[in-house]
Chains A and B, each alone.
Chain A
Amino acid sequence: MTDMLGGLAQEVVSGIALGCIYALIALGFTLIYKATEVVNFAQGELMMVGAYVNFFIVTALLDIPMLDGALGFLLAFAGAVAFAFLFGTFLDLIINRPLKDEPVFSVIMATISMAIILRAVMALIAGPMTRLPLSPFGSGVIKVGGLFISVHDLFIISSAIVLVCGFYYFFNRTKWGIAMKATSEDPMAASLVGIPVKKVYRNVWIFSMVVATIGGVLLAPRTLLDTNMGFLGLKAFPAAVLGGFGSVPGAIVGGVIMGVIETVSMGTLSFYFPWVKEINDIVVWIVLIAVLMIRPAGILGREEIERV
């Protein structure tokens, strides 16, 4: 009995780590949705691009004797974030600007085709091989009261918490954050009160690309780096919806719930129903649909009340 409980606790812990990964991606979805009401289907691919850029710089720096350790990693990380700034600006320029008067549906389709393009371009540049980047935090494991957790997972969890708190503060307390919220309510009214709407849009895309890069850099050592990494975006999408699309704390709530459900159901149910392969996928979706039936805007999402 204690054995089973211990196993369950271990699964919950690894579920939380997995959930924080989802939360990092979901946060990117949330940022863009919050300001532009666009669901960015390329979020997973943006993460992949960020991870690859970081990996390329790290391998390039390996040859320089001074820079093959932590310093090199930090430099590479800074480089990847700088690239994220440029790339975010570029995405705003080619996706958001030309389509700003089109229905949201078209913009979503544009992000889907952007996802296809990015995956193909990355495959052409990087080749079909799967890479294994080393974790900058080493491969240590901490044991707390019979539970194991790797140092790397701890970093993932803490950075997810830091980012979510940071963005929560940003959206509720700072001038730019409130300007972004106002823009999503009504771009016309926002520009009338002097909010530079174009700049807001650009910053949103940059932020979300930076968040994606941070997520990608943290994820790559855990999930292996190949061009299919972007499909994680499709799994983080339900997490974002479960927590409430457009809600910053919702990203981490939804992510953790999804992650825990996934690992726990994999650990327990697949034992009793061996004939259903990957039962965790089904359970995740059923939970999601059930939650949406009860709370149509997700757990922390606010239902939009329309004025007629």
Chain B
Amino acid sequence: MKGRYDEENLKWIAPLIILVIVLPFLLRGATFSYRYYLYVLNIAGIYTILTVGLDLLSGYTGLISLGHAGFLAIGAYTSAVLVDQAGVPFGLSLIVSPLITGLFGILVGFPALRISGMYLGLTTMGFGFIVRRLIIALRTWTEGSAGLEVSKPVLFGFTFANDWHNYFLIYLFVIVVVVFARRVMKSKIGRALMAIRDSEHAAQAVGINLVRYKLFAFFLSAVLAGLAGVLFAHTMRFISTDHFDILLSIYFLIMVLVGGVATIYGAVLGTLFIVLLDFLAIPLFKDWLASFMAVQVADIQSLIFGCIMFLFIIFQPMGLYGMWLKMRIYWKLFPFNPKIKQT
């Protein structure tokens, strides 16, 4: 059933898709260093695919995962090994590797049937650690901690040679994933997952199969993370265990939170915000600061990052998407705004 707010959201989709398509051309017209901006946007796009999946799992279903960098790593390494060492075509790997990652997701999901809350967060964190160690241990295929070079993506005979090509490949998937996730979450499955988050007992009482839906949430989330991993491996063209740090898993959760929990658009906004902040805004700012303070640049970078995160959580706990909703309501009611009292 379509509600009024659904239609309002749909109104924005066409202009946004056009913006996504036009943006690289605008950037090329406007700046010399557009290749770097495209590179940053590509990273944001890859992370977006993952954080949308994380939002499905942690935001909608309430199963906190601190191990999503592990799924990203599995997707990336599986695809790298399949394509470069087993000779599987990239197109096939694009389907198979996420599915393999999804199987790992189910494996991690089994503890989730008994464990909840922070205990689950910790179990998934342990999973992230184990994946990193295993990648180092299986160095016959993965080259250990030295890192692995990966081939360019080739699809239907077309080679995606640079960031310009990769941009369209990645954002095609971003759009598909976002639309797909929105639809899934409005379907019976999505409502079942939200019911599980709100009360497991009540969900079970109305006949939701907890085992099946929880495992499905883990599977779906891991598939999306695996997809992000495949794209990461083949567009960055170099992967090593340093790319899949435990801190990255925490940053993914921060991205979801900054964007707004349990709103797919929030995950997109949050990821864009954090990645752009990390790669574009902070470097500008830190050079300016370092010009009159003799300190380590990396420290300033993490200081600013931490402060922005902190202020955001204190003052805007509903996230960027919540901010946008508030603004929209404000404009709609414009001259007759009721004074909203913050409680």
Q: Cβ of B199: which chain A residues have Cβ within 8 Å of it?
A: 308
Chain B 112-123 near chain A by CB (<8 Å), digits 1 or 0: 001110110111
Q: Which residue of B lies closest to A120 (CB)?
A: B303
Q: Which residue of A lies closest to B144 (CB)?
A: A277
Are A288 and B300 touching (Cβ within 8 A)? no
Are A241 and B122 touching (Cβ within 8 A)? yes
Most A CB atoms within 10 A — which of B139, B303, B313?
A: B313
Chain A 15-30 near chain B by CB (<8 Å), digits 1 or 0: 0000000000000000
B111 interfacial by beta-carbon distance below 8 Å: yes
Are A276 and B302 touching (Cβ within 8 A)? no
Q: Interface-forming stretch among B21-29, B128-136, B231-239?
A: B128-136
Chain A 84-126 near chain B by CB (<8 Å), digits 1 or 0: 0000000000100011011001101110111111011101100
A238 to B127, CA, bound (A): 12
Are B257 and A237 touching (Cβ within 8 A)? no
Q: Interface-forming stretch among A71-79, A179-187, A210-218, A278-286?
A: A278-286
Q: Interface-forming stretch among A132-140, A149-157, A168-176, A291-299?
A: A291-299
Are A39 and B130 touching (Cβ within 8 A)? no
Q: Cβ of A106: which chain B residues have Cβ within 8 Å of it?
A: 257, 313, 317
Are A109 and B133 touching (Cβ within 8 A)? no
B191 interfacial by beta-carbon distance below 8 Å: no
Chain B 288-310 near chain A by CB (<8 Å), digits 1 or 0: 00000001100110110111011
A105 to B306, CA, bound (A): 17
Question: SS class of chain A's interface: helix, strand, loop or mixed?
Answer: helix
A8 interfacial by beta-carbon distance below 8 Å: no
Q: How far is the CB of A94 from chain B (nearest CB, A)?
A: 8
A230 to B134, CA, bound (A): 25
A98 to B310, CA, bound (A): 11
A117 to B314, CA, bound (A): 14
B254 interfacial by beta-carbon distance below 8 Å: yes
A128 interfacial by beta-carbon distance below 8 Å: yes
B246 interfacial by beta-carbon distance below 8 Å: yes
Q: Which residue of B lies closest to A306 (CB)?
A: B201
Q: How far is the CB of A234 from chain B (nearest CB, A)?
A: 7
A113 to B314, CA, bound (A): 11
* 27 examples of A-B residue contacts, CB within 8 angstroms: A94-B314, A101-B343, A102-B317, A105-B64, A106-B257, A109-B309, A109-B313, A110-B314, A112-B250, A116-B303, A120-B302, A124-B296, A124-B299, A128-B296, A241-B122, A275-B137, A277-B136, A285-B127, A285-B129, A285-B130, A289-B111, A292-B111, A292-B123, A296-B114, A298-B119, A308-B199, A308-B201
